[in-house]
Amino acid sequence: MTSLDSLPLRADLQGAAPYGAPVIDVPVRLNVNENAFDVPEPVVRAIGARVAEVAASLNRYPDREFTELRTLLAGYLGGVLAAEAGESGSGASELAGARIRPEMIWAANGSNEVLLHILQAFGGPGRTALGFVPSYSMHPLVAQASGARFVGVGRNADFTIDPAAAVAAVREHDPDVVFLCTPNNPTGTRTPLEVIERIYEAARGIVIVDEAYAEFAGSDFRSALHLLPGRERLVVSRTMSKAFAFAGARVGYAAADPAFVDALRLVRMPYHLSSLTQAAACAALEHTEELLAGVRALVAQRERLSAGLRDLGFEVFDSDSNFVLFRGAADPHALWQRLVDSGVLIRDIGLDGCLRVNAGTERETTAFLEALGAAVEQEPHLTDGKQG
């Protein structure tokens, strides 16, 4: 049988490991930050109707510029800006629409493909991408896939970013691309707009603000969308996978200067968003209220997770996402396995003493906390001794 070593693989990919979370069939799966709630039935019907409309024309290529989807995404992000600015009344939608225009929107098959397009356009061989670690594990993989070198810069002990240290690192490494994830995965921490501004001012290259979990953040969270005017090297990436309960549809998107969007057209594959994907996403965006209703319930379960973990004696990091990072495992993988044996799957992210669990339904939260409590009581060696 042919092995990978016998193939003429690129030198920079030799010895690399692909992205992947364990896929284990257990009753409670809280390991990949999915939305725990099914797509509501009225939205399912709307998606079905939209898909049926385009089914007869699948012999034709899809709209290469995903015009309707781009318009709906611009409207959604304009609404985000208006809500964060506290705008209301008849002038709010007009003002928001002026800020985020359809020509500022890019979309692809999940936010990972959006990030890949950006790295293909602005990264590549001989170029450098920089990120603040720990952070989303796909950032270095996407950089590597484009042929760029990835440089990881450490965060503070509480996983925030020190502005002065960040600026110094950007000036030292002079990256072509900077990744900023807020709320950050896997820590749940946010990066204030002032810090993003300082990093952007220090950077020569592209600054990507990955806001995949922004809808789960507190009411005082401010999106980097506010920073887009006058910053042609800034791009804000988001996804429909999390808050919109649309992970299976694979729809990610970004907002940036129209010239930036033009650059991404140079590297995307022709007709990269299928007619079916566009139809489903448009139907979902026409039912935003129903889909985002689950966000409030997930935030409530996130807070319940945090409280329950603290009651069990674990250190819990404040989270603005749909997951919680907690510390206190003497052997994280052994504790992870103990939970799997109890029918609960969470994420061992390889961070010292830490595990990550995403918010689920009320039943799933209960199952996790009960399984973890039993593990702490029955096998105390799995923790660092501070529990109880």
**Has residue 195 been placed in a domain?**
yes
258 lies in the same domain as 371 = no
Tens place of pLDDT per residue across the chain (388 aa): 777 888 898 888 888 888 878 889 999 999 999 999 999 999 999 999 999 999 999 999 999 999 999 999 999 999 999 999 885 444 444 444 458 999 999 999 999 999 999 999 999 999 999 999 999 999 999 999 999 999 999 999 999 999 999 999 999 999 999 999 999 999 999 999 999 999 999 999 999 999 999 999 999 999 999 999 999 999 999 999 999 999 999 999 999 999 999 999 999 999 999 999 999 999 999 999 999 999 999 999 999 999 999 999 999 999 999 999 999 999 999 999 999 999 999 999 999 999 999 999 999 999 999 999 999 999 888 887 665 4
Q: Give the torsion through C-alpha atoms of 163, 164, 170, 173, to 10 deg.
A: -140
* CA 119 – CA 117 distance, rounded (Å): 6
89: left (phi over 0), alpha (psi -120 to 50) or beta: left
Tell me, what amino acid is at 322? N
∠ CA 249-251-254, nearest 5°, is 170
Select from 218, 252, 286 the last residue of a domain: 286
Residue 366: inside a domain: yes
Selection from 325, 330, 322 nearest residue 384 by Cα: 330
Instruction: Please give the tally of structural domains in the chain.
Output: 2
In the chain, pLDDT over 90 holds for what percent of residues?
A: 88
Looking at residue 199, its pLDDT comes to: 98
Cα–Cα distance, 283 to 18 (Å, whole number) = 33
Rounded to whole angstroms, the Cα distance separating 83 from 81 reads 5
What DSSP string describes 234-265?
Answer: EEEEEESSSTTS-GGG--EEEEE-HHHHHHHH
- 261 and 356 together in one domain: no
Tell whether 207 and 330 lie within a shared domain.
no
> What CATH number is given to the structural domain containing 353?
3.90.1150.10
Q: Are 169 and 246 within one domain?
A: yes
Shared-domain flag, residues 77 and 210: yes
334 burial level (CB within 10 Å; 0-12, 13-18, 19+) = middle
- According to the model, what pLDDT value does residue 277 have? 98
Q: What is the pLDDT of residues 328-387, one digit of tens each?
A: 999 999 999 999 999 999 999 999 999 999 999 999 999 999 999 999 999 888 887 665
For residue 13, being part of any structural domain is answered with no
- Does 263 reside within a domain? yes
- Does residue 186 have a cis bond before it (omega within 30 degrees)? yes
Tell me the helix, strand and coil percentages in the chain, rounded to 5: 45, 15, 40
Last residue of a domain, one of 225, 256, 286: 286
Q: Do residues 158 and 244 share a domain?
A: yes
Give the side-chain half-sphere CA count within 13 A for 104. Answer: 25
Contact between residue 248 and residue 38 where contact means Cβ atoms under 8 Å apart = no
Give yes or no: residues 77 and 198 share one domain: yes
Q: Are 215 and 242 in contact (CB under 8 A)?
A: yes
346 & 316 share domain: yes
In a domain, 81, yes or no: yes
Q: Please answer whether residues 77 and 69 qualify as being in contact, where contact means their C-beta atoms are separated by less than 8 angstroms.
A: no
Residues 239 and 192 in one domain: yes
Q: Would 6 be classed as within a structural domain?
A: no
What are phi and psi for residue 74, nearest 5 degrees? -60, -40
Among 286, 320, 347, which residue terminates a domain? 286
The residue written with tokens 């989303």 in the block is 136
Same domain, 210 and 325: no
Domain that holds residue 234: 41-286
- What is the spatial distance between Cα 74 and Cα 254, in angstroms, rounded to a whole number? 10
Structural contact between residues 221 and 239, judged by C-beta atoms closer than 8 angstroms: no
Q: CATH number for the domain including 58?
A: 3.40.640.10
As a whole number of angstroms, the distance between CA 213 and CA 322 comes to 7
pLDDT at 387: 57
CA atoms within 13 A on the CB side of 143: 22
Query: Considering all CA atoms of the chain, what is the largest pairwise distance in Å, rounded to the nearest integer?
Result: 67
Residue 69 phi, psi dihedral angles, 5° rounding: -60, -45
Question: What is residue 385's predicted lDDT score, i.e. its pLDDT?
Answer: 64
Say if 17 falls within a structural domain.
no
Q: How far apart are CA 304 and CA 138, in angstroms?
A: 28
Residue 157, pLDDT score: 95
Q: Are residues 274 and 135 in the same domain?
A: yes
> For residue 234, is it within any domain?
yes
**Residues 158 and 207 reside in one and the same domain:** yes
Contact 386, 313 (CB under 8 A): yes
List, in sequence order, the alpha helices (H) in 178-311: 193-202, 258-265, 275-285, 288-311
- The token pair that represents 4 in the structure block: 């990978």
